[in-house]
Structure 1
Amino acid sequence: MLKDRNITLTVPAMPEYVDLVRLTLYGIASKMKFTFEDIEDMKVAVSEACNNAVLHAYDKDDGTIEVRFAFVKDELSITVRDYGSSFTIEENKETPAMHGKSIDEIQSGGLGLYLMQALMDRVEVEHGGGTAVTLTKKRQRTEEPA
């Protein structure tokens, strides 16, 4: 049914549109018969990628986020692309440790990439004319009764 097809969604880089991306992901992943837990993990990961684009890619509210859903067999890849200013992973390695700090001393951000990596099977980040984060999840095979 959904073999070797792609869907691309372009939304304004504004927080209120992240829910639209999550709803689209839910519909696609449900049709692919991903488990509820996997769908929830993907929704958190794609939200992190979209939030990074909303918060960091553009100086003004005039940018867009392009989200491409590519599915082949038992694998769904979601690419979140912006065309704003980019970052490098090396910059993120300077994130200070949180151990021994009070809740007031901990800054938000900086953990999104690690969270995406924990929730997805593969995470790839590309730079050049913006940032593209590709999140890939393999569908778990369920055993059919004999």
Structure 2
Amino acid sequence: MNDIIELKIPSKLDYISLIRLTASSIANSIKLNVDEIEDIKVCISEACINVLNFSHTKEINIQFQLEDEKISISINDVLEDIPKDKENEKQGNMGLLIINSLMDKVEFKNDKITMIKYI
């Protein structure tokens, strides 16, 4: 299996629940357990909130890549190094800590986060 699902939504808090529902459905379709699905939903929420708080983009781009042994979720414009003078700096750093603790692997490259959960 090597399926790719892409989702683009406006950069508005109102649409985070749509991303969470989509992630839940995708994770359920590949037979992840309830805890793994919840971990993915939390991490996607934190990454999207990072985009909303620290990026000036008009849309959030999410890509789900399903492979036999893992699911990779990439989100553009997630800031890894949050400047100390930003208003929501503590919340942003906590979100990154949560992502790193709940996902099996996290990579930042070219202004994009890729979060991996092994199946």
The TM-score normalised by the length of structure 1 is 0.72
Aligned to 2:112: 132
The unaligned stretches of length 5 or more in structure 1 are 95-106, 140-146
Aligned to 1:39: 37
Offset, 1:37: 0.2
- Identify the structure with the greater helix proportion: 2
Alpha-carbon RMSD across the aligned residues, in angstroms, is 2.0
Aligned mates of 2:65, 2:109 — CA distance in 1: 17
Aligned mates of 2:25, 2:105 — CA distance in 1: 21
Aligned to 1:26: 24
Offset, 1:4: 0.6
Q: How many residues align?
A: 115
Q: Percent identity?
A: 32
Determine if the alignment matches structure 1 residue 78 to structure 2 residue 73: yes
Aligned to 2:64: 69
Between Structure 1 and Structure 2, whose CA radius of gyration is higher?
A: 1
The unaligned stretches of length 5 or more in structure 2 are 85-89
Aligned mates of 1:132, 1:23 — CA distance in 2: 21
Amino acid at match of 2:61: E
